[in-house]
A = this chain, B = another copy of it.
Amino acid sequence: MKKAIIIGATGFGGLGLVEIIRRHPEMKITQLVDIKDPGKSISDVFPHLRGFCDLIIRSPKEINFDDMDIAFFSTPDRAGMSLIREFYKKNIPVIDFSGDFRFGTTEEYAVYAANRGLEADHLAADLLPEAVYGLPEKYADRIKGARIVGNPGCFSTCMILGLLPATESGIISSDTIICDGKTGVSGAGRNSGEANLYPQRHENVNTYREGKHQHVVEVENVLKSAGGRDRKILFVPQIVPLNRGILTTMYMDIEKGCDTEGLLRIYRDYYERKPFVMITDKSPNTADVRGSNRCLIRPLVDGRTGKLVVISVIDNLMKGQAGNAVQNANIMLGFDETAGLDVPAFYP
């Protein structure tokens, strides 16, 4: 059994890790760390964990570096930026949930930081070349040997997985891809402020950060490296009254002569050996993937306009966060990619 430490244990990301690793056949949690509630049991914070995981939360000062094989940083942007260096020095592989290690250069990070409203300087710039973008469906080979993995943004994963086959097959002919995203409220985290109070979210849908969401940089980066060409993502996110779930609807021009059948074939071939990506010719529901690590994708060519429409759904807390992180960990530690993650959606 490999030993895992979770830094940032009391957020939704930390909770997701606890739940997945608890059922993992080859990994166990030895340390939970948070600046919030140190000294408390995690099952005092989340009563449903009682009897399943009752570890005491430690403060960052109490981390025992000798009792871990892998570290998950389920921390906000910039919170783990410096601390991760200590893990790196001690040769402990790290998976970070924030945007801190999703970019190879400080320039890219600065764009991300500006969109996010963060300071632009990176406190561990020297480690950026070591960091690998943690999308297993694309970068499994590099993730395998990585010491720092930047777990992708939830929207990014949903968009990139939906766009990779079309991008790599070279059929996209437009310079801009339009991505219309819908996300549940848990994407904003467990302590997400007044705007996410129940009466403000219930019975309401709204757009936000139209064209300016911080995940766009990641998507454009990956697609460029996949397709060899600069393409822009015009992304408009929307908050919908769900706890969990992301659905993105993506629109682009494609070469003439492509039809839905052909696209389905391209997508199925591309993801043939990827255990968590399912292609469908039916309308996807976020409920189809809630609680699972799956991404469900429907590509279709609109007969009237010839455009390609790709609909992609994930659970933002699973394939969009903790599930994907464990998938990365499985690859890094040499386990089966699906270990701990082989569960169907929770329905209804």
Enumerate chain A interface residues (CB-CB to B < 8 A): 12, 15, 19, 22-23, 46-53, 175-176, 178, 180, 182, 185-186, 190-192, 194, 196-208, 210-211, 232, 234, 236, 238, 240-245, 247, 249, 251, 278, 280, 282-292, 296, 298, 300, 302-305, 307, 309, 311, 343-348
Which residues of B lie under 8 Å from residue A208 when comparing CB positions?
283
A243 contacts B211, C-beta separation under 8 Å:
no
A287-B242 CB under 8 A given contacts A198-B196, A234-B251, A348-B186: no
User: Judging by beta carbons under 8 Å apart, are B238 and A249 in contact?
Assistant: yes
Given the interface pairs A278-B51, A348-B12, the reply to whether A185 lies near B198 with Cβ below 8 Å is yes
CB contacts (< 8 Å) of A52 on chain B: these are: 344
Nearest-Cβ distance from residue A114 to partner chain B, whole angstroms? 13
Given known contacts A46-B347, A302-B211, A241 and B240 CB-to-CB distance under 8 angstroms: yes
Pair B15/A243 contact, Cβ less than 8 Å: no
Which residues of B sit under 8 angstroms from A238, Cβ to Cβ? 182, 247, 249
Q: How many subunits of this chain does the assembly comprise?
A: 4
Contact flag A197-B199 (CB < 8 Å), given A208-B283, A285-B204, A302-B211: no
Which B residues are in CB contact (< 8 Å) with A185? Answer: 197-199, 202
Interface centre among A15, A200, A284 (most CB of B within 10 A): A200
Bound-complex Cα distance A197 to B288 (A): 16
Q: Are B289 and A48 in contact (CB under 8 A)?
A: yes
CB-CB under 8 A for A311 and B210, given A234-B305, A236-B249? yes
Contact B211 A303, beta carbon cutoff 8 Å: yes
- In angstroms, Cα B255 to Cα A199, docked, is 41
CA distance in complex: A292, B47 (Å): 13
Task: Give 26 A-B contacts (CB < 8 Å), ordered by A residue.
Answer: A47-B282, A47-B296, A48-B288, A48-B345, A51-B278, A53-B344, A178-B178, A182-B182, A190-B199, A198-B198, A198-B241, A198-B243, A200-B287, A202-B203, A202-B241, A203-B244, A203-B245, A204-B242, A205-B247, A205-B285, A208-B283, A211-B309, A232-B305, A236-B249, A238-B249, A251-B251
Known contacts A186-B199, A196-B198, then 8 further A-B pairs from the complex at CB < 8 Å, ordered by chain A residue: A176-B305, A203-B245, A206-B283, A206-B285, A207-B249, A207-B283, A232-B305, A234-B304
Give the residues in chain B near A180, CB-CB below 8 Å.
180, 249, 251
Across chains A and B, which 7 residue pairs bring their CB atoms closest together, nearest first? A48-B345, A206-B285, A204-B287, A180-B180, A211-B302, A198-B201, A199-B348
Residues of B within 8 A of A50 (CB): 278
Which residue on chain B has the smallest CB distance to residue A208?
B283
Closest chain-B Cβ to A86's Cβ sits at a distance in Å of 31
CA distance A249 to B238 in the complex (A): 10
Contact A251 B203 (CB under 8 A): no
User: A23 to chain B: which residues have CB within 8 Å?
Assistant: 343
Given A203-B243, A247-B206, A285-B204 in contact, is the A48-B198 Cβ separation under 8 Å? no
